[in-house]
Chain A
């Protein structure tokens, strides 16, 4: 199966700064990489995704990059706001199975 590792486990930034979360995966056949935001007491919310035939994707303040050769992908959040505080999960899809990282708790200090 697939193994997804996510770093860091916690990240604290000042409001307005950028935040970067990194993930690596083990199986080169994985072809879809979503990112989820999970707030306390809620289910994960899809915030952005990227497919293996694309190197970068951006949606307003959020961007994701994918390096297939190195088998890693990253989430970039610019101009962070207090409401960005949550746990973020990366995932890799292999044969329609989603494998999740262990999560990054992001704290944006006002």
Chain B
């Protein structure tokens, strides 16, 4: 049983560009949450998708958007990249409700 997978592993972008990160949830999971983890800090909740809709959102600007597909996979899009967007972006999958979230390995985004 494959766990949560994310692509790409690493990404380097220039300030002002746009980026798309991808996530495939663990088998049997229908909910995907995205987190931003700055160096030396805990993950910060960006948003959560269930039934192809954004259900919850953290304190992130509209430059951060997402999508969930019918097969439960998800994308995170970030527009107008800032240097401060450099971080590890983590995807976590779960069943809907207060259930265990399992994380993928993350995508390391560097904005220059």
Contact = CB atoms under 8 A, between A and B. Distances in A.
Given A43-B90, A44-B43, A103-B41, A98 B101 contact: yes
A101 B97 CA distance: 21
Given A43-B90, A102-B42, A103-B42, A96 B103 contact: no
Contacts of A102: 41-42
Interface residues of B, number: 26
B66 interface: no
B43 A100 contact: yes
Interface stretch (A12-20, A30-38, A62-70, A72-80): A30-38
B60 to A, nearest CB: 12
B55 A49 contact: no
Nearest to A99: B45
Contacts of B55: 96
Interface in B44-73: 44-45, 48, 55-56, 58-59
B42 A45 contact: no
Q: How large is the interface on A (under 10, 10 to 19, 20 to 34, 35 or more residues)?
A: 20 to 34
Contacts of A1: 59
Contact of B105 (A6, A43, A46): A43
B1 interface: no
Nearest to B94: A96
B76 to A, nearest CB: 14
B100 A43 contact: no
Interface of A: 1, 4, 6, 31-32, 34, 36, 42-46, 49, 51, 89, 91, 93, 95-103
Given A43-B104, A99-B45, A101-B42, 4 more contacts: A6-B42, A32-B98, A98-B33, A100-B43
12 contacts: A1-B59, A32-B98, A42-B105, A44-B90, A46-B103, A91-B42, A93-B98, A95-B56, A96-B48, A98-B33, A98-B35, A102-B42
